[in-house]
Each structure stands twice: as structure tokens, then as C-alpha cells.
């Protein structure tokens, strides 16, 4: 369901949006997509930071395990 809202944007920004648009009058679609993209990027950034924190917390253990596995490799 769509809910009508009102926002205020600078004239310059609206001109830039209008230059990008292929269909005049589709500002709402453009702005909605831009907001969705922004939200997804923030979610991904948060998830990536969380993953990196987990990796860093277990880095020493993972390195020990990797060294152990590599010790079983046969040199060619």
C-alpha cells in the first residue's frame, strides 16, 4: 500500500532528478527506489561489519585450524 507524503527538496536536486528520469513525472518512483537502495546498502554494511567482527573474534582459532589442515598436505 502506498501512502502519500510530502517532502521538500532543493530545486537543484529536483533538476538533477529530472535530467536522469526517462519518463517525466516519475519522481516518486525514482525517490522510492533511491531510498530502498540506501536502506539495503545500510543493512549490508551493518551485516558486513557484524561478519567482520565475528571473523576477527575467531581469527586466532581459525588460523590455528588452517595451519593444522595445511600440515596434512603432501608436498609435490
In a domain, 43, yes or no: yes
pTM of the model as a whole: 0.61
In a domain, 67, yes or no: yes
Residue 12 CA to residue 16 CA, distance in Å, equals 6
For the chain, report the end-to-end CA distance as a whole number of angstroms.
Answer: 63
Considering its fold, how many domains does the chain have in total? Answer: 1
**In contact, 30 and 21? CB cutoff 8 Å:** yes
Residue numbers of the domain that contains 48: 27-76
In a domain, 19, yes or no: no
Residue 26 CA to residue 33 CA, distance in Å, equals 11
Q: What are the tens digits of pLDDT across the range 56-73?
A: 888 988 899 999 999 888
Q: What are the tens digits of pLDDT across the range 2-48?
A: 899 999 999 999 999 999 997 777 899 999 999 999 999 999 888 88
In a domain, 14, yes or no: no
In a domain, 57, yes or no: yes
In a domain, 31, yes or no: yes
In a domain, 18, yes or no: no
In a domain, 12, yes or no: no
Amino acid at each position: 500500500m502506498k501512502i502519500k507524503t510530502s517532502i521538500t527538496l532543493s530545486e537543484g536536486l529536483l533538476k538533477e532528478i529530472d535530467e536522469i528520469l526517462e519518463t517525466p513525472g516519475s519522481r516518486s518512483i525514482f525517490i522510492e527506489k533511491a531510498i530502498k537502495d540506501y536502506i539495503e546498502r545500510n543493512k549490508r554494511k551493518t551485516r558486513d561489519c557484524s561478519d567482520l567482527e565475528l571473523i576477527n573474534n575467531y581469527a586466532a582459532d581459525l588460523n590455528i585450524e588452517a595451519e593444522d589442515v595445511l600440515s596434512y598436505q603432501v608436498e609435490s
